[in-house]
């Protein structure tokens, strides 16, 4: 979402605002306490409801400050109060404060919380993600940054497509030079601040080729005015580095730099911050080394140590009291993270109650797991709780499908947070591609995307001709299309290309004076996209059309920032690329929150499910054999556990179909790291279950109504097949089956209710 000013009612600044709008819009919910009720006006309200250590941080003298503390200890809260303190008590102008958060949503929440502490809007305060702030700078100073005014942001999907196209153009074999690896290489180098010219092939031909591809990729981006996510940061850094006067201007302006989730800054972000701080800027950063979970994306937890060297005289504040979770949840989290060796080491405590045990459920498969979770969610909702206070976390995005299916069947509204992103859906990207072409004809990715969508007779051959023309003449595909349609193509193909060129020109002309939503509406119809998806059978096509129409609504609710010097369309397109996933239609409805463990960072929920807790899934297969990878997974597990305030469920499935394959897994090793005393196993009614805590070999018991349990490895006797040992079991109730290895008859699957097995 864009940054907005505070909603009408004054929110309670102490309540994490995820549900703020929900609480205010939902009739079934009491309005959060007003700040005035919390803080008598005769004391400085900003220091109210902070503990001593937090106060020390908030009021720290004007020098570099590092707050290093565990989950839920109030780091984000300290940051908010620090901003308010600076403005209200120290008399610092809001203009001089720059605050960096990890998501755009967090930025909007932070602004709201600062405003409610100060009781005035703080429009001039810059709050955003590193990417968002870099983007803002580049828009303002596009000329100095060496960019065209209408440069477009491409997301990682576009980036990958662009790399594939590049390989095709260069006639390089995709199976040898894997596009994803090239993408990873390029982004990795950019994250470290390196351009191709800085790279040395070290005599390694593979590396030489990678560097050449990076250079070729850069050329394509420069020609089309395309900026990927890593480029935003790198350019913004170079912008300041190479323009000392500009840098000096911003250094004078931003005297106070506040950074949340500091443990996950990457090298270029840190370098950017150091440039801005210069000699006199005052950085105030908060973070938790135990929650560093983006190493794979270039984050460097080492910055916590470097900070103290780079900023001599840093005041270090530690917070140890946790206000979020019950004693049980906290102890479980502490016990898990203790298994990591590379830690600064700190212990969180709470003076709250122990609360409920953590409940663990061993599901038969992913559907059973979803059923279980949905059953608990129903109970939760029936007890009058907010749906939005419940979150289901999973390790990988694909896991959401089974959960989503179950939720849809159960009629429980849900939202996939940061997952199935609205702006990343194919049909939305199609519509955006048309809009981008209207804004910038030289945008090659957009051109490629829609030149033949809906199909208009521009075949692969014509497309190839355009590409080679563009390559040979170093021009955009748009120009190439115009040129070859006039000179090289025969009647039919030439007509098709002319028709496309005319379409775009007409769209541009016809929408020129329209407002943003009308513009979008006109484009999705006149481009033929709506017609095209109407032909797509069944629900899919319908959903796509709904999504396209939703894009018009997105345009309607989009509020251009008057301070930005670009057209509303350009701004909207940047917004779409930057803030994908955060503008979903149902954002403010009261619905259950589904998200990956990664996207849950910084959030908190009264009820949390950690699902799919199986070895191979979490910890992820590729990290199991790498100690550093495993430690990062464990930190992620720590993040997951510490999202829970009151109630935590952990579930895993013995069998899971994921990406079309069946997997049989052991419970996650992280479950075993939680001490027994914090755990309660949930016993299924009638079914196969495997006691989680059993150590050593898999031991499974079969329960059928009141029948005695049958365990894996148990010896049994069958009338016909004789004696054997139970090897495996699956299914529930009347369908429960066991696999028995009979001494003479071999291995057989038997339906338990018919087999009449005698236990021996």
Asked if 74 is part of the footprint of Mg ion (rule: CB under 5 A), the reply reads no
Question: By rule CB under 6 A, what count of residues binds ligand ATP?
Answer: 21
Of the listed pieces 64-72, 86-94, 491-499, 568-576, which binds ligand ATP according to CB under 6 A?
Answer: 64-72
Which of residues 75 and 441 has its CB atom nearest to ligand ATP in the complex?
Answer: 75
Q: What is the token pair recorded at 127? A: 């709050």
Token representation of residue 356: 């409920």
With CB under 6 A as the contact rule, the residue among 26, 49, 385, 543 that binds ligand ATP is 49
Whole-angstrom Cα Rg for the chain:
29
Based on CB atoms, which residue is closest to ligand ATP, 74 or 281? 74
Q: Which of 75, 190, 421, 635 is catalytic?
A: 75
Under the binding rule (CB under 6 A), the answer on residue 294 touching ligand ATP is no
Residue 55 binding ligand ATP, by CB under 6 A: no
Q: Does 51 bind ligand ATP (CB under 6 A)?
A: yes
- Measured between alpha carbons, how far is residue 688 from residues 189, 314, 708, 725 in Å? 50, 57, 12, 17
We find the least distance from the C-beta atom of residue 74 to ligand ATP, in angstroms, to be 3
Task: In whole angstroms, give the CA distance from residue 310 to residue 304.
Answer: 10
What is the distance between the alpha carbons of residues 329 and 307, in angstroms, rounded to a whole number?
31
| Pairwise CA distance, residues 679 & 328, whole Å | 9
User: Of the candidates 231, 285, 275, which has an alpha carbon nearest to the alpha carbon of residue 249?
Assistant: 275
Partner from Mg ion, ligand ATP, none contacting 599, C-beta within 5 to 8 A by type: none
Q: Scan residues 296-355 and list those touching ligand ATP (CB under 6 A).
A: 323-324
Nearer to ligand ATP, 323 or 558 (CB): 323
Binder among 17, 115, 228, 288 for ligand ATP (CB under 6 A): 288
Give yes or no for residue 602 binding Mg ion (CB under 5 A).
yes
Pick from 65, 73, 101, 266: which binds ligand ATP (CB under 6 A)? 73
Cα-based distances in Å from 285 to 25, 100, 429, 676: 34, 9, 37, 37
Chosen from ligand ATP, Mg ion, none, partner binding at 568 (C-beta under 5 to 8 Å by type): none
44 in Cβ contact with 320 (< 8 Å): no
3-state secondary structure of 328: helix
Select from 11, 32, 45, 74 the one that contacts ligand ATP (CB under 6 A): 74
**Which lies closer to Mg ion via its Cβ, residue 643 or residue 737?**
643
Q: Does the protein bind ligand ATP through residue 16 (CB under 6 A)?
A: yes
Taking the C-alpha atoms of residue 586 and residue 594, their distance in angstroms, rounded to an integer, is 13
Q: Which stretch binds ligand ATP (CB under 6 A): 48-56, 143-151, 171-179, 608-616?
A: 48-56
**Among residues 109 and 579, whose Cβ is nearest to Mg ion?**
109
Identify the bridge partners of residue 732 per DSSP, sorted by sequence position: 687
Nearer to ligand ATP, 3 or 288 (CB): 288
- Smaller CB separation from Mg ion, 185 or 294: 294
| Binding-site member from 6, 54, 96, 399 for ligand ATP (CB under 6 A) | 54
Annotated catalytic residue 136? no
38 vs 725, beta carbon nearer ligand ATP: 38
Q: Is 419 in the site for ligand ATP (CB under 6 A)?
A: no
> Minimum distance between the CB of residue 110 and Mg ion, rounded to whole angstroms?
10
Nearest CA among 437, 498, 488 for reference residue 467: 488
Catalytic choice (260, 288, 444, 571): 260
Q: Interacting stretch for Mg ion, rule CB under 5 A, among 15-23, 71-79, 177-185, 524-532?
A: 71-79
For the question of residue 279 being annotated catalytic, the response is no
Residues with Cβ within 8 Å of residue 579, at least 6 apart in sequence: 1, 2, 104, 423
Please, what is the angle between helix 130-140 and helix 267-277, to 10°? 60
Q: What is the DSSP letter of 243?
A: -
* 76 labelled catalytic: yes
Cβ atoms < 10 Å from Cβ of 405:
13
Cis-peptide into 454, omega within 30 deg: yes
Q: Is 70 in the site for Mg ion (CB under 5 A)?
A: no
* β-pair partners for 98: 126, 257
Query: Cα 614 to chain center, whole Å?
Result: 21
- N- to C-terminal Cα separation, the chain: 64
**11 sits near ligand ATP (criterion: CB under 6 A):** no
* Beta carbon nearer to ligand ATP, 69 or 239: 69
Query: Which among 296, 307, 311 has a CA at the least distance from the CA of 344?
Result: 307
- Binding site partner of 519, from Mg ion, ligand ATP, none, Cβ cut-off 5-8 A by kind: none
User: Smaller CB distance to ligand ATP: residue 12 or 443?
Assistant: 12
324 binds, among ligand ATP, Mg ion, none (CB under 5 to 8 A by kind): ligand ATP
Phi, psi of 273 (to 5 degrees): -65, -40
Catalytic residue among 643, 656, 703, 737: 643
Kindly write out the interface string for residues 634-653 of this chain, putting x where it contacts ligand ATP by CB under 6 A and - elsewhere: --------x-----------
> Which two three-digit tokens encode residue 245?
């006067």
**Catalytic residue at 261?**
yes
Instruction: State the minimum distance, in angstroms, from the CB of residue 150 to ligand ATP.
Output: 37
| Contact in structure between 196 and 214 (CB atoms under 8 Å) | yes
Q: Which does 323 bind (CB under 5 to 8 A by kind): Mg ion, ligand ATP, none?
A: ligand ATP
Q: Hey, which residues between 141 and 200 contact ligand ATP (CB under 6 A)? A: none
Residue 647: name its binding partner from ligand ATP, Mg ion, none (Cβ under 5 to 8 Å by kind): none
Which own/partner contact pairs does 118-121 have at CB distance under 8 Å and 24+ positions apart? 118/84, 118/87, 118/88, 119/10, 119/35, 121/5, 121/6
Q: Which does 74 bind (CB under 5 to 8 A by kind): Mg ion, ligand ATP, none?
A: ligand ATP
Catalytic member of 6, 76, 263, 596: 76
For residue 470, CA distances in Å to 59, 460, 483 come to 59, 15, 10
Q: Is 593 near ligand ATP (CB under 6 A)?
A: no
**Burial of 659 by CB count in 10 Å (0-12 exposed, 13-18 middle, 19+ buried)?**
exposed
Q: Write out the DSSP string of 250-283.
A: HHHH--EEEESSGGG-BHHHHHHHHHHHTTT-EE
State in angstroms the smallest separation of the CB of 103 from Mg ion. 11
Question: In angstroms, what is the minimal distance from the CB of 603 to Mg ion?
Answer: 9
Strands 358-365 and 644-658, by their bridges, are parallel
- Asked if 480 contacts 464 with a C-beta cutoff of 8 angstroms, the reply is no
Residue whose pair of structure tokens reads 């109630």 in the numeric block: 647
Query: And the tokens for 677?
Result: 């005393």
The residues of the shown chain that bind ligand ATP, judged by CB under 6 A, are 14, 16, 49-51, 54, 69, 71-77, 288, 291, 323-324, 602, 604, 642
Could you give the residue numbers annotated as active site?
A: 75-76, 260-261, 291, 643
The residues of the shown chain that bind Mg ion, judged by CB under 5 A, are 75-76, 602
């Amino acid at each position: 979402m864009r940054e907005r000013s505070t909603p009408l009612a004054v929110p309670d600044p102490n309540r994490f605002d995820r549900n703020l709008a929900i609480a205010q819009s939902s009739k079934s919910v009491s309005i959060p306490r007003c700040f005035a009720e919390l803080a008598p006006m005769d004391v400085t309200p900003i220091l109210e409801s902070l503990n001593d250590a937090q106060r020390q941080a908030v009021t720290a003298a004007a020098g570099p400050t590092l707050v290093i503390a565990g989950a839920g200890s109030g780091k984000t809260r300290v940051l908010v109060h620090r901003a308010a303190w600076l403005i209200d008590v120290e008399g610092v102008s809001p203009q001089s404060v720059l605050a960096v958060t990890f998501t755009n949503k967090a930025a909007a929440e932070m602004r709201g919380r600062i405003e409610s502490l100060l009781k005035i809007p703080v429009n001039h305060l810059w709050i955003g993600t590193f990417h968002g702030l870099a983007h803002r700078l580049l828009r303002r100073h596009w000329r100095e940054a060496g960019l065209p005014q209408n440069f477009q942001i491409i997301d990682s999907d576009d980036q990958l497509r662009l790399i594939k196209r590049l390989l095709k153009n260069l006639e390089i074999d995709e199976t040898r030079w894997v596009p994803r690896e090239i993408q990873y290489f390029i982004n990795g180098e950019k994250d470290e601040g390196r351009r191709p010219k800085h790279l040395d092939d070290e005599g390694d031909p593979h590396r030489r080729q990678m560097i050449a591809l990076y250079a070729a990729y850069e050329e394509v981006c420069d020609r089309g005015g395309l900026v990927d996510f890593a480029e935003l940061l790198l350019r913004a850094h170079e912008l300041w580095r190479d323009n000392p006067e500009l840098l000096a201007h911003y250094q004078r302006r931003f005297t106070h730099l506040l950074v949340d989730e500091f443990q996950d800054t990457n090298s270029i972000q840190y370098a950017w911050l150091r440039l801005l701080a210069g000699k006199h800027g005052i950085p105030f950063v908060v973070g938790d080394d135990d929650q560093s979970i983006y190493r794979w994306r270039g984050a460097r937890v080492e910055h916590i140590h470097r900070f103290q060297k780079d900023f001599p005289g840093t005041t270090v504040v530690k917070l140890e009291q946790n206000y979020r979770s019950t004693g049980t949840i906290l102890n479980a989290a502490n016990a898990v993270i203790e298994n990591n060796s590379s830690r600064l080491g700190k212990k969180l405590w709470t003076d709250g109650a122990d609360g409920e045990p953590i409940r663990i459920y061993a599901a038969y498969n992913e559907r059973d797991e979803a059923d279980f979770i949905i059953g608990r969610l129903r109970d939760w909702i029936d007890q009058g709780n907010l749906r939005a206070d419940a979150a289901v976390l999973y390790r990988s995005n694909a896991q959401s499908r089974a959960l989503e299916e179950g939720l849809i069947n159960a009629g429980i509204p849900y939202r996939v947070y940061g997952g199935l992103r609205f702006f990343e859906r194919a049909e939305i990207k199609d519509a955006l591609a048309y809009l981008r072409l209207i804004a910038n004809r030289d945008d090659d990715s957009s051109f490629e995307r829609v030149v033949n969508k809906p199909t208009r007779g521009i075949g692969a051959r014509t497309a190839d001709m355009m590409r080679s023309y563009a390559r040979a003449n170093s021009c955009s595909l748009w120009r190439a299309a115009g040129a070859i349609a006039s000179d090289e193509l025969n009647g039919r193909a030439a007509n098709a290309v002319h028709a496309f060129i005319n379409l775009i020109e007409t769209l541009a002309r016809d929408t020129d004076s329209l407002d943003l939503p009308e513009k979008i509406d006109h484009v999705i119809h006149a481009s033929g996209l709506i017609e095209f998806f109407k032909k797509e059978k069944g629900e899919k096509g319908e959903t796509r059309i709904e999504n396209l129409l939703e894009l018009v609504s997105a345009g309607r609710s989009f509020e251009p920032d008057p301070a930005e010097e670009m057209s509303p369309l350009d701004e909207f397109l940047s917004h779409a690329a930057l803030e994908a996933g955060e503008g979903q239609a149902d954002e403010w409805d009261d619905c259950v929150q589904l998200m990956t463990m990664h996207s849950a960072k910084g959030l908190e929920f009264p009820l949390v499910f950690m699902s799919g807790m199986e070895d191979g899934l979490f910890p992820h297969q590729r990290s199991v054999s790498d100690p550093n990878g495993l430690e990062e997974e464990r930190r992620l597990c720590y993040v997951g556990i510490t999202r829970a305030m009151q109630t935590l469920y952990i579930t895993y499935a013995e069998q899971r179909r994921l990406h079309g394959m069946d997997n049989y897994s052991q419970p996650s090793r992280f479950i075993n790291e939680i001490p027994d005393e914090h755990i309660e196993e949930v016993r299924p009614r009638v079914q196969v279950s495997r006691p989680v805590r059993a150590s050593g070999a898999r031991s499974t018991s079969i329960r059928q109504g009141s029948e005695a349990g049958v365990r894996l490895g148990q010896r049994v006797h069958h009338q016909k097949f004789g004696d054997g040992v139970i090897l495996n079991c699956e299914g529930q109730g009347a369908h429960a089956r066991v696999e028995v290895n009979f001494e003479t008859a071999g291995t057989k699957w038997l339906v338990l209710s018919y087999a009449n097995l005698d236990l021996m």
